[in-house]
Amino acid sequence: MLKGLAAAEDLGKICSPRTGRVAPGEPHACDSCCVSRVVTLETVRDVMPQSGSTSQLTGAVARAYEADGAICLRGVFESKWLELLRDGVEAALRSPGPHAEDYTPAGSQGRFFGDIGLWKRFAPFKEFAMRSPAALVAASLMGASRINLIYDQLLVKEPRTQERTPWHQDQPYWALDGNQMCSIWLPLDPVDDATCLRFVAGSHKWPQVYNPLHFKDGSGYSDTGLPQLPRIDESGETMRLLHWELEPGDCLVFSGRTVHGGPGNMNDASRRRALSTRWAGDDVRYVRRQGEVAIPTEDPGLAYGARLAGREFPLVWTRAGGFETCTQD
């Protein structure tokens, strides 16, 4: 159950362009400053698809997402989903998949660990992908009538981890084209401001996509023909950066084209476990690009320009029929 959707009249505060914190009356750099970039979900509604439809996130919230390319939603996921995923994370750490990576050099303190395609291997991640509110949130923010799962990704930064998440866009990693692609980044631990992801507001509207980077060594993907991402001004003086303190149950939703990155986790005791699920709407098509590509990891059996379907990109939800039955073993 999605715990609630804020009414537009409740969104009169203004978000600080540097910290992402709510600051009533503070000047704002963009044209869409009439709403907060931090949305409190207050009114409990049942959005399970018995009627074949989903409640829509308010127009004000969708407009904030469209303006900035990233938004914070508070209290979206109930504790049952968090506990399910925490169990799944420990299982995934014990049994890494074929595409798992440790981004922290051997002998260094901390650990930055990543793995993908967990829903194919662990029941908790499959249950979350196919039955949690995530697909509904993606559909509502993107205005989509159908939602396919692109993949899921586990990102763990243990205490005293120095390794950063490099500045990047998600979409160039994928052999996909379209506008309706987003990520939902769900933390399973409290995330303080010093540890949270940073987003360049409005960068999803930049006309260019940029060459992906390998997280382990910062090297660019080979033979893509894409330019290098320009230097990001982390001071926030020339670029408006969005970031938020988060509690488990909160989530960040951002466009596949939004430039983002993140610091390490230099806390002495607090872990930073997060699951990022990637979602596609109506207009997304399979387009095999030149050069190195990360997703899909296997041949999806789709023709160039085909709508997403099948084992690699399962259909999760439609407005007409609600949640679909996934046949993945």
Can you spell out the DSSP letters for 75-99? S-S-HHHHHHHHHHHHHHHHS--TT
Using the predicted structure, report yes or no on whether residue 1 has a pLDDT greater than 50. Answer: no
Mean pLDDT for the stretch of residues 119-125? 98
At residue 289, the pLDDT reads 85
Contacts of 230 (CB under 8 A, 6+ apart): 210
Mean pLDDT for the stretch of residues 133-147? 94
What percentage of the chain carries pLDDT values higher than 90? Answer: 74
Question: How would residue 326 be classed by pLDDT, with cut points 50, 70 and 90?
Answer: low
3-state secondary structure of 183: strand
What global pTM score does this model have?
0.84
Mean pLDDT for the stretch of residues 120-142? 95
Contacts of 152 (CB under 8 A, 6+ apart): 116, 117, 118, 119, 125, 128, 129, 275, 276, 277, 278
Spatial distance between the Cα atoms of 240 and 207, rounded to a whole number of angstroms: 18
Highest mean pLDDT among 10-19, 26-35, 175-184, 287-296: 175-184
Spatial distance between the Cα atoms of 230 and 208, rounded to a whole number of angstroms: 11
Q: In CATH, what is the architecture of 68-323?
A: Sandwich (2.60)
Asked whether 268 and 192 are in contact (CB, 8 A), the reply is no
What percentage of the chain carries pLDDT values higher than 70? Answer: 81
Using the predicted structure, report yes or no on whether residue 2 has a pLDDT greater than 70. Answer: no
User: Chain-centre distance of CA 254, in angstroms?
Assistant: 6
Question: 148-173: per-residue pLDDT in tens?
Answer: 999 999 999 999 999 999 999 999 99
How is the chain split into domains, by residue range?
68-323
Question: How would residue 235 be classed by pLDDT, with cut points 50, 70 and 90?
Answer: confident
Spatial distance between the Cα atoms of 208 and 37, rounded to a whole number of angstroms: 25
